[in-house]
Amino acid sequence: MRKRLSSMDTAPDGSNLAGVRHIILVLSGKGGVGKSTISTQIALALRHAGKKVGILDVDLCGPSIPRMLNAHGQDVHQCDSGWVPVYVDQEKSISLMSIGFLLERPDDAIVWRGPKKNAMIKQFVGDVAWGDLDFLIVDTPPGTSDEHITTMDALRPFNPMGAVVVTTPQAVSIGDVRRELTFCKKMGLPVVGIVENMSGFVCPHCTECTNVFSKGGGEELARHAGVPFLGCVPLDPLLTQSLEQGKDFIKEFPKSAAYSSITSIAQQILDGVTQGS
């Protein structure tokens, strides 16, 4: 941890979230389903829809979003209200906070017990000066453990819009995500909808779709649980390329296989805001 940011003396009071209109948590019961990918792409799609978006990366042991948005290596500064998030674009329409910005070296591991993780999450929630945002996307670690409970307890006073729950099509993933839906119910967190990620591979040459990991499990789970199904995002080499290079996939590849899926998910989120207002 960089020494100038190692102090956790400030008690978070949540006032920095006063200007945030809608908070969405991205959850899944297991790792490797692409929560960070979905978080970044929803944020980019909402930005292209004219919204001002923040991303809070509370995956303390796997902070990958700074690289996905080509923001790694940036410094976090302090102001009177707390920490200033890193702005991803010149227009300051996407802001980001991640523990990845606080490490001395990118390969440093976070070897912390639960209380220290929980303290950092509380500070992230209370001490980041987000300013006015239309949406705050919270990217969470896998599971339903201490970090999730701490995040929910810290955000509950601000009435989160709900959770986008990410799964992959195969039965093992669906089983774990079913537990995540139970977590949402126990925590009183509405489910915005389920996203089935890695849903088939669309060949970039012939456009034929191959269901590498089966198909339809996410939609069936949504139907069974009585929650919205937001859509399927296929395996797309162009999306992978964008994430590796920190490019804006929504801007760079509007004709790609995953583009329409991601923009449709973002539009359903916007429609939900309109219907709830």
Nearest to 51 by CA among 86, 91, 8: 91
Token pair for 148:
């999730």
Rounded Cα–Cα distance for residues 103 and 79 (Å): 19
Residue 36 counted as an annotated binding residue:
yes
Residue 79 counted as an annotated binding residue:
no
**166 half-sphere exposure, CB direction, 13 A CA radius:** 29
Handedness of CA 190, 84, 59, 5 (dihedral sign): negative
Rounded Cα–Cα distance for residues 140 and 51 (Å): 22
Residue 51 counted as an annotated binding residue:
no
Residue 35 counted as an annotated binding residue:
yes
DSSP-H helix ranges across 188-258: 217-225, 237-245, 249-252
Is 21 exposed, middle or buried (CB count within 10 Å of its CB: 0-12, 13-18, 19+)? middle
Residue 30 counted as an annotated binding residue:
yes
Residue 203 counted as an annotated binding residue:
yes
Residue 216 counted as an annotated binding residue:
no
Residue 184 counted as an annotated binding residue:
no
Binding site for ATP, by residue number, is: 29-36
* Binding site as annotated, residues for [4Fe-4S] cluster: 203, 206
Residue positions in the annotated binding site? 29-36, 203, 206
